Chain A
Amino acid sequence: KAGVTQTPRYLIKTRGQQVTLSCSPISGHRSVSWYQQTPGQGLQFLFEYFSETQRNKGNFPGRFSGRQFSNSRSEMNVSTLELGDSALYLCASSSGTVGEQYFGPGTRLTVT
């Protein structure tokens, strides 16, 4: 089975711009979760989608949003980028009915 894929792998954006990241889960998996990883805060939960519905959301500002499509692919969007948004954004795939989550390679976002 193919693993979790994320695109793009690297992004450089300027403050104030917006960005969209994409995640394709493992075939058959219906749940996608997003996490932000920074050296200071570690891995922090952003949101979780299951069958196109947001099931949970972490403690991030409204500039961070996401959605899931009928084929389970997910996108997350960050608007009005700030320097502090520079991070590795990880997507995790799961069946949605058991707890195991499998991570994609991540998107490294740099905001200048």
Chain B
Amino acid sequence: EDKVVQSPLSLVVHEGDTVTLNCSYEVTNFRSLLWYKQEKKAPTFLFMLTSSGIEKKSGRLSSILDKKELFSILNITATQTGDSAVYLCAYQPYSGAGSYQLTFGKGTKLSVIP
């Protein structure tokens, strides 16, 4: 059973478009929700959203967390070809062992065409 569901699975847009990527998650012991960008190899950290930080922005990227409806969105405005990547959402629960384990969604593959 998937605990983190991302949509859409893939998306093709033109440069300059605005995109919204979605992530819904399971509620059990919610600690935080993280977004990553993965191009060729290692996922690159983008944002971490928690109960005390439900909105983050960095340049053209922004993200919000809706704890009531159990979802998060990642917005990218004025897209560029360099934004082409797989965007991963990861859920991080509280655990008795104090672990910071991440459970990832399958990702959204974004392709930006000139």
Interface residues of A (CB under 8 A from B): 4, 31, 33, 35, 42-45, 48, 50, 55-56, 58, 88, 90, 92, 94, 96, 99-106
Contact = CB atoms under 8 A, between A and B. Distances in A.
Contacts, number: 63
Nearest to B2: A42
Contacts of B105: 42
A55 B42 CA distance: 23
A48 B88 CA distance: 20
Contact of B101 (A56, A90, A106): A56
Contacts of A31: 100
Contact of B102 (A55, A88, A96, A101): A101
Contacts of A100: 34, 45, 48
Q: Which 8 residue pairs across A and B have the least CB separation, nearest first? A: A56-B99, A43-B104, A103-B42, A99-B32, A55-B99, A103-B43, A105-B42, A105-B41
